[in-house]
Amino acid sequence: MDQFCGDDPIAYIYGTHPVKKLVPPCVRSNIMKLFQPLAEIISFGSQNLAEEQQQRIRIINSLSLVTALLAISMGPVFYFITGKLQILVPALIEGLSFFFVIWLNHKRRYEAASLCMMCFQAVWAVYFGVLLGTVIEITLVLLFMISATFLVYKKKRSILICFCVTAGGLLVTEAFYFAGWVRPFVFEHNTTFIIRWCYILVILSLNTICILFYKKMTNGLMLTLKARTLELEKANQSRKVFLQETSHELRNPLNAIFGIVQLMQMDLKSGKISATLPSLVDSLYSASFNMREIINNVLELSRIEAGQLDEVRYRKMDVRKTLCNIANIYEYVANTKSVHIDLIFSEALPEKVMTDETKFSQIINNLLMNAIKFTRPKSDIAIRAGVQGMEWYVSVTDQGGGIEQDKLVRIFEPFVGEKSSFIEGTGLGLHISKHFAELLEGNITVECRENTSTTFTVYFPLSGSDTTHPQASPARPHERKFSSKTVLVIEDDKMNQVILKNFLLNSGVRVLTANNGVEGLTMAREQAPDLIILDSHMPKMNGRETLLHLKNDPGLRRIPVIIASGDAFTETAAGFMREGACDYVTKPIEFTALRLVLEKHLTGAESD
């Protein structure tokens, strides 16, 4: 049997300390029944408060309860010994006054309760000190009040009031002693001895409670400090791993980009185009795309760890169209490994589902990017969407040979990943995908066929989805030319201007450029464009201010505005959308995604 531990009786009163097995069950049950009413009284008024405030209220209630019980029990004893009603009646009133303090806490009048307790202690100490004279040592009560002050009060003003009350009580008592205004009772030697030791017992009881509470608070602080130290050590280690992994993963695609660009420069200087140029361009695109994904995942992880949970914005989404768009974007990356992406839709899949399209897209982006990394060259990746029971699902299957069992059990933890040529990752994608899936009230699973394939499946509730089914799956989006359309690019970075201008010119668009918001507004008023691509960070007038002016101008407010920003955080995009932007693309801009945005706003396609 275990040793009975009596080092924390306060915990027994609260009912939080386990009663040790040395005590027989029947005795243990009686002990708990005895302390249960006391625990309830001590907890009066402490519900639904912060832990520190609960602790202070319990201290006040405990001191008040003990003082009240001692006064009510000792009063009759002293009356029996001395026969003085001047002791009995005030003692009973004293007991009732401290029950009144507990009642004040029960009514959540905390400040009044704490001040009343200290004032009552001082008043009754002075009364009995004057009445009994040197039979009792009033200074013991005053010393107790000083020690209790730091447990009961936190504000300097309250501590100062307590010291003033204590000092005032001491001065009043000494004045009565010195002036002899009231003649103290005189008792026989034996009676005086009993009264003196009963009073010492009272003081010891009150000080013991203070010491036990102080010990409990100190132990709690030490445990919190140890836990916080362990958390900081773990966070510091995680930060080291985070920096090491991130710097390594960024350096690899950056090395590929840097090396490929140098090879292309050498070709240009030599005046002849190498036969390997097309494959180099594909590799350059793949490395750049991968680097962008790494940065996005790092940013998302930092937000998750900071507790910045995105608000979920449910709306109806055409799941087929969304998956086609995502597959179309990633087809370019897959081509660098001669990998083909197959889309397979179940007939039972609703035409539209209720979800947050942004978070859903991030989940599928991460799953598809992982599949491209680890699948075999010249293989297929299958994206399947369908219905299973009361859930709809999307699965992504690669032909990468499966995952080892030891990695499979912790595959959704951050920094768990493998290497695949220069297409690498921090191992954050699956961790973030799981977080977003749970945020959307779904879940994500993984299945492996040994030496063959890996399938990640994400499930979502089917409630709120459109039960109608389309007759045929939509075809992949095809490129469209935007002849006779004019797009105004408001961008302060010259390189970004050149890149966007070349892309738009190749799409048949007439392009206007402005270096800041002021120039952009002037140009838009002179030559009303069909669409505006607006940078969010610019000198003179930033994107938010420019958007506000555009939407307040009757002649410009109907022009679609696309925000282009390096800020990938969802709340930033949501803020611009609320202020009137039609769409939001993040830098570096993926042209396939931008083409879909242009099709939506320049060809009159409706956004669902």
Q: Where residue 548 falls among pLDDT bands split at 50, 70, 90?
A: very high
As a whole number of angstroms, the distance between CA 294 and CA 425 comes to 6
The 10s digit of each residue's pLDDT in 282-311 is 767 766 766 776 676 666 666 656 555 566
What pLDDT band is residue 235 in, cutting at 50, 70 and 90?
low
pLDDT at 533: 94
Highest mean predicted confidence (pLDDT) among 21-25, 214-218, 449-453, 586-590: 449-453
Cα(341)–Cα(160) distance, integer angstroms: 75
Could you read off the pLDDT of 333-350 as tens digits, one per residue? 788 788 999 999 998 899
Instruction: Pick the range with the lowest mean pLDDT from 369-383, 550-564, 585-599.
Output: 585-599
Please check the confidence at residue 265 and state whether its pLDDT lies above 90.
Answer: no
Q: Are 311-461 and 486-602 in the same CATH fold?
A: no
What's the rounded mean pLDDT across residues 431-452? Answer: 86
Q: Is the pLDDT of residue 436 over 50?
A: yes
Residue-wise pLDDT for 19-67, tens only, equals 444 455 655 555 556 567 778 888 888 888 887 788 888 888 888 888 8
Beta-bridge partner residues of 380 = 340
Residue 387 · residue 345 · CB < 8 Å: no
Tell me the CA distances in angstroms from 162 to 54, 153, 213, 257, 409, one per residue in order: 20, 9, 19, 71, 60
What residue has token string 């179940």? Answer: 346
For the chain, the domains span 43-227, 311-461, 486-602
Q: Which helix (H) or strand (E) holds 189?
A: helix 189-270
Please name which of 408, 450, 399, 453 lies closest in space to residue 430, comparing C-alpha atoms: 408
pLDDT score recorded for residue 251: 63
Any idea which fold 311-461 has? Answer: Heat Shock Protein 90 (3.30.565)
Full-model pTM: 0.47
What does the pLDDT look like over 469-521, one tens digit per residue?
A: 554 444 444 445 677 889 999 998 887 888 888 888 888 889 999 999 999 99
Domain topology for 486-602 = Rossmann fold (3.40.50)
Q: How far apart are CA 419 and CA 251, in angstroms?
A: 13
